[in-house]
Amino acid sequence: MLKIENNARSATRAALGAIGLAALLAASAAPAQAKVLAKVNGVEITEEDVKLATDDLGPGIPRQLEGKARDSYVLDFLIDEQLVVQKAQADKLAETPEFAKKLAYLRDKALMETLLGNVAKAATTDAAIKQTYDEAAKNQKSETEYHAHHLLVPTEEEAKKALARIKSGEDFGKVADEVSKDPGSKGGDLGWFTKDRMVPEFGDAAAKLQPGQLSEPVKSQFGWHIIKLDETRPKTFPPLDQIKDQVARYVVQKAQSELVIKLRDSAKVERADSPPAAAGAEKSDEKKK
């Protein structure tokens, strides 16, 4: 039987799953100088507890709460949690086999997350982020970006009528606002895009135009388009400061994935089931047939 003392708050939190994995990490004693913010039937809740819970709850905390309001929200959560924890202890839920299994699972998961967290910290150096960014920028293929307006109507006849109005001198944006069935482009303005972002018929037609030129009616799966190409420019790679977070996430994912692959390669893994075949392997088998 698993015994949990009254002052072992972190273990009982795991039983509830309210704070989850991060609560297990609270098993280490809080520093002696940690400020006590509340007591629930004699059990202390400290600043360290609030910090831990804030990190763990993350997106679960209402976004509009900041500063003291955020801390107060988390403290209220911990007070309510401790009340439920104490009731669970009184009901001896911590002594059940189910709890022991759950605690073991959460411990393993917490260890995994701690190790992967350490890998993430070690991987995300400024040098690694810069190197990854430079490699991506170097490998970016040369592309053209197009800035265009368009209008979309259900039939070719309607498209021809709209084209005639524009050719006669009417403003493209005015005609688009009146007849276009595309609500996502005010005045028909599509902003900047690369050819591959559009359906093939549209992208091909836009790429054949010169700045200022109008297309003939173009049919796509959405209907009939009239396209006016405004200007073109070479696609540039965004500066590092704009995408640094994305690059850092990629660096972390790569480092963590490499670790897991390395561990798998050096381990003896025995499965009772048959793991799904890789897509490449399936295609290879089909060719052999």
- Given a cut of 80, is residue 224 above it in pLDDT? yes
More confident: 92 or 141: 92
Strands 223-234 and 43-46: unpaired
Angle at 216 between CA 215 and CA 219, to 5 degrees: 105
Residue 136: both structure tokens together: 């991506």
Residue 174 neighbours by CB distance under 10 Å = 13
- Would you say 35 and 121 are in contact if contact means Cβ atoms under 8 Å apart? no
pLDDT 10s digits, 252-272: 999 999 999 999 999 999 999
Averaged pLDDT score across all residues of the chain: 87
**Beta-carbon contacts of residue 260 (< 8 Å; ≥ 6 apart):** none
pLDDT 10s digits, 52-86: 999 989 889 998 999 999 999 999 999 999 999 99
Least confident of 8-17, 74-83, 206-215: 8-17
pLDDT 10s digits, 137-172: 999 888 999 999 999 999 999 999 999 999 999 999
Compute the average pLDDT of residues 170-175.
Answer: 96
Q: Check the CA dihedral 203-208-214-220 and report its sign.
A: negative
pLDDT of residue 141: 85
pLDDT of residue 279: 54
- Given a cut of 80, is residue 275 above it in pLDDT? no
pLDDT 10s digits, 98-114: 999 999 999 999 999 99
Strand segments, DSSP code E, in the chain are 36-40, 43-46, 144-153, 189-194, 218-220, 223-234
Compute the average pLDDT of residues 18-29.
Answer: 40
Q: How far apart are CA 233 and CA 144, in angstroms?
A: 6
- Would you say 247 and 133 are in contact if contact means Cβ atoms under 8 Å apart? yes
- Greatest Cα-to-Cα distance within the chain, rounded to the nearest angstrom: 88
Strands 189-194 and 218-220: unpaired
DSSP notation for 111-159: HHHHHHHHHHHHH--HHHHHHHHHHHHHHPPP-EEEEEEEEEESSHHHH
Element (H, E) at 14: helix 9-16
- Among 218, 217, 213, residue whose Cα is nearest residue 230: 213
